[in-house]
């Protein structure tokens, strides 16, 4: 569960979805809802399964960061979902390549502040995550959420 700073090429997906959303709270909410819906359609998992809830949390955090830190007036963010053999890769692309997440969770906000620790959720739910810039105009923050369900003993 570490961030990867390298330019990461995802494994070959079985299915893929690309959508653009307005850089607003409504856009972020719609992206989260659509990510859950698409996951359940692709996999047959229920909406309240562990993987679906993890996808919801990770998508919410990445899209929230895109509209908060990666927003430029008049520019949208892009949500890409890739169904991999054992995971779902969530990619959120925004128009602010200079506004990158910290290199490690150790660089996140101190415990006495009320915000700035959302990437800890990403770290907890994802097998791996990172940030890439494929051009000079955008950055993509991505995370791979495992499809395995946790079993209680």
CA-CA-CA-CA torsion for 150, 107, 97, 12, nearest 10 degrees? -30
What is the three-state SS of 37-106?
A: HHHHHHHCCCCCCHHHHHHHHHHHHHHHHHHHHCCCCCCCEEEEEEECCCEEEEEEEECCCCCCCCCCHH
Topology of domain 3-146 in CATH is: Heat Shock Protein 90 (3.30.565)
pLDDT digits (tens, 9 = 90+) for 102-124: 766 655 556 665 556 788 889 99
Which among 31, 15, 120, 27 has a CA at the least distance from the CA of 75? 27
**pLDDT tops 70 at residue 37:** yes
Percent of the chain predicted with pLDDT > 70:
80
Of 22-31, 65-74, 88-97, give the lowest mean pLDDT range.
65-74
End-to-end CA distance of the chain: 24
In this prediction, residue 89 carries a pLDDT of 97
């Amino acid at each position: 569960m570490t961030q990867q700073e390298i330019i990461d090429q995802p494994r070959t997906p079985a299915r893929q979805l690309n959508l653009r959303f307005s850089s607003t709270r409504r856009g972020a909410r719609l992206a989260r809802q659509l990510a859950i819906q698409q996951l359940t359609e692709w996999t047959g998992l229920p909406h309240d399964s562990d993987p679906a809830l993890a996808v919801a949390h990770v998508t919410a955090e990445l899209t929230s960061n895109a509209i908060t830190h990666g927003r430029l007036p008049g520019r949208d963010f892009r949500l890409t979902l890739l169904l991999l053999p054992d995971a779902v890769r969530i990619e959120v692309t925004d128009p602010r390549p200079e506004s990158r997440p910290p290199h490690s969770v150790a660089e996140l906000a101190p415990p006495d502040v009320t915000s700035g620790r959302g990437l800890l959720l990403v770290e907890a739910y994802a097998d791996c995550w990172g940030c890439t810039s494929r051009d000079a105009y955008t950055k993509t923050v991505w995370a791979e959420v495992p499809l395995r369900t946790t079993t209680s003993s």
